[in-house]
Amino acid sequence: MNKIKTRSEPEAVRAAVRDGYGKIAKKDGSCCSGVSCCGSNAEDSAKLASHVGYSAEELAALPDGANMGLSCGNPTALASLKPGELVLDLGSGGGFDAFIAGRKVGPKGRVIGVDMTADMLSKARKNIVAYRRRSRLDNVEFRLGEIEHLPLADNSVDVVISNCVLNLSPEKPQVWREIARVLKPGGRVAVSDLALLKPLPKGVREMVEALIGCVAGAVLVSETKRMARQAGLSEIRLKQKADYIKAMTDWDDALYRKILKHLPPGTGPGDYITSLEVAAHKPA
């Protein structure tokens, strides 16, 4: 088992994440095989996306390869996007949620995806060609950057979305502060992520596969709410969705099989991990 030897150092964590997702983008492999949010094949990716609430029409309209099985929820639905809005997608990967959001905000709206992995950014930008051809829209762009230091101006976006990404950051309070900074007054955030019901055993916390697979870096549900509130956001609503973890376990996902080996007897991933929807507003 590969271990994260310097979890306390933010740059070491970012390097591990960047390397893992770079491999996924280049299809050199993934952190594990299966349908968890560390990457999967096209069939399993479609299966996972359907399970977390994406429609067949949304998936069929995507550029080939945009859906890499990196979802643990559906923030575009949670955000209730409207035509004309400016949307920011944190950790946009190959463009999966950004392209779905682009169709929802229409020709007068815009979507900006930010990702720190150059290979993901390259993949997303190549996918723009197919998106423009299929949608007849030119309203999506991708920028290289860290979600802790967003390349956007203050008070500039209507909505921030993110799908199973915030758990990867070693500086989560800073991410929430950046979300609050770039949102316009009255703007909103819709995040799908993994969170903890109770602390993970040490063996799981140290697994590189579990970090890339969105588990080892997750924090307690209560801590997520605290960080959003301290960043200045209001009307914070959290909804736990245990069905995602149950599906990963029932589908005998490779990562969750590894995690199970490090859990106390008689317990399962669902006793520790949940999919979490986070919705909040920036006070007007």
User: Residue 3: its pLDDT value, please?
Assistant: 55
Give kind and range of the element (H or E) at residue 203.
Answer: helix 202-205
User: Residue 135: its pLDDT value, please?
Assistant: 97
User: Residue 45: its pLDDT value, please?
Assistant: 83
* CA-based R_g, the chain, Å: 17
Three-state DSSP class for residue 220? strand
Interstrand relation of 273-281 and 234-241 (parallel, antiparallel or unpaired): antiparallel
151: Cβ–Cβ under 8 A, 6 or more apart, which residues? Answer: 114, 143, 144, 145
| Mean pLDDT for back-to-back runs of 10 residues, the chain (284 residues) | 56 87 73 46 82 94 92 95 98 97 98 97 96 98 97 98 95 97 98 94 85 86 97 98 88 85 92 96 96
- Encoded amino acid at 33, one letter: S
Q: Find residue 157's DSSP bridge partners.
A: 183
Give the whole-angstrom CA distance, residue 133 versus residue 94. Answer: 17
Give the whole-angstrom CA distance, residue 187 versus residue 283. Answer: 8
What CATH superfamily is the domain 10-281? Vaccinia Virus protein VP39 (3.40.50.150)
Residue 156 exposed, middle or buried by CB count within 10 Å (0-12, 13-18, 19+): middle
Structure-token match 């203050």, residue found? 154
Say if CB 190 and CB 79 are below 8 A apart: yes
User: Residue 33: its pLDDT value, please?
Assistant: 45
* 126 token code pair: 């190549």
Helices (H), 61-144: 75-78, 96-105, 118-135
Domain ranges for the chain, please list them. Answer: 10-281
What global pTM score does this model have? 0.91
